[in-house]
Amino acid sequence: MERHGHAIVAAAFLLLLGCGAVFVAWWMQSGTPQTKTYRILSDSSVAGLSVDARVKYKGVDVGSVREIKLDPGDPRLILIRITLVAEAPVTHATYAEIAKAGLTGASYLALREDEGGAAPLQTSDEDPARIPFHRSLMSKLETSGEQLIGEGEDIGKRLKELLDPENRHHVSALLAHLDTASERFAAMEQAAMPAIRQLPALTKQAKQALAESRTVLKRAAQDAESLRGLSQEISNATDQVQHHTLPRLDQLLRGLDRTATNLDKLARELRRNPQSVLFGGPSPPPGPGEPGFQTPTESYR
């Protein structure tokens, strides 16, 4: 009987212990928040970001960084694994960047929204979805600063090469030439000042000359009109001379030519036989049938 009592107590204890274990498991499961896992791949430095760093969405804590390592598929990339609360609004337009809490604060991972689809980004613990990574403003400024420093060093080297002794001598000579040119320019300016002061008077004279030239041009136009009338009269006179005077003059010249020819014949006759002026000229030889006519054959005999 006593043995049966111990068995009943032991069974009750085991039953209570099992119920308590089930209750504790249920309580721990219900008290643990639901989470979701994502991965981020970065091709730039993630210096300052560490495991357990906070993940914030618009300044609100929504998770933490669980792992940072080289991507097994491409060691040139950095794999960041994060765990977020279930209600974190991760969409296809969400991207991540490293931010700082103040200028010197700890680094954390900030989730931001870009332009794009607002559909939720589905993920799982076995195959976490990828959230794009953007370089932060500080990272861009750091890279730009390094580039500016490199360019500044390059400029410094070029300036050093430019300012070697030979080039410094050339620069000094150039400055001396510029100084001389400035002095000459000042002298030219002083010499040109009297002419510059006379410009108003010269402008006034030029205006007067322009007015006079307009008057002269007007008169010239009138004279040209008169010349056109005179030219018409000359053309009419030329036609008159060409069609009336010249033919008559030609006839007169022909008559004078014939007269001159006759006078020349008369002069030669007078030189050959001057007495013909008093006694007349010799009688012409008798013709055929007239007394004293001789044939050419008889005359030769």
Establish if 170 belongs to a structural domain: no
Which among 44-53, 156-165, 176-185, 189-198 has the top mean pLDDT?
Answer: 44-53
What is the pLDDT, as a whole number, of residue 224?
A: 79
Lowest mean pLDDT segment, chosen from 64-68, 73-77, 127-131, 239-243: 239-243
* Number of domains the chain is built from: 1
CA distance 101 to 246: 121
Establish if 85 belongs to a structural domain: yes
Residue 292 makes CB contacts below 8 A (sequence gap 6+) with 286
What is the pLDDT, as a whole number, of residue 22?
A: 67
Cα–Cα nearest to 80, from 35, 114, 47, 103: 47
Sheet holding 94-100, edge to edge: 94-100, 107-113, 54-57, 60-70, 78-85, 35-42, 129-130
Establish if 70 belongs to a structural domain: yes
Residue 301 above 50 pLDDT? no
| Residue for token pair 């694994």 | 81
State whether residue 48 is helix, strand or coil: coil
Q: Pull the structure tokens for residue 164.
A: 């070697």
Q: How confident is the model at residue 37 (pLDDT cuts 50, 70, 90)?
A: very high
What is the pLDDT, as a whole number, of residue 300?
A: 43
Establish if 240 belongs to a structural domain: no
| pLDDT higher at 53 or 197 | 53
Residue 84 above 80 pLDDT? yes
Residues spanned by the domain of 55: 35-134
Establish if 39 belongs to a structural domain: yes
What is the pLDDT, as a whole number, of residue 182?
A: 83
Residue 298 above 60 pLDDT? no
Establish if 197 belongs to a structural domain: no
The beta strands (E) that lie in the chain are given as: 35-42, 54-57, 60-70, 78-85, 94-100, 107-113, 129-130
Question: For residue 129, with 0-12 CB atoms within 10 Å meaning exposed, 13-18 middle and 19 or more buried, which class applies?
Answer: middle
Lowest mean pLDDT segment, chosen from 30-39, 125-134, 281-290: 281-290
Mean model confidence pLDDT for the chain: 78
Establish if 184 belongs to a structural domain: no
Establish if 166 belongs to a structural domain: no
Q: What average pLDDT does this structure show over 33-60?
A: 89
Question: 81: which strand partners?
Answer: 39, 67
pTM of structure:
0.41
Lowest mean pLDDT segment, chosen from 34-43, 195-204, 206-215: 195-204
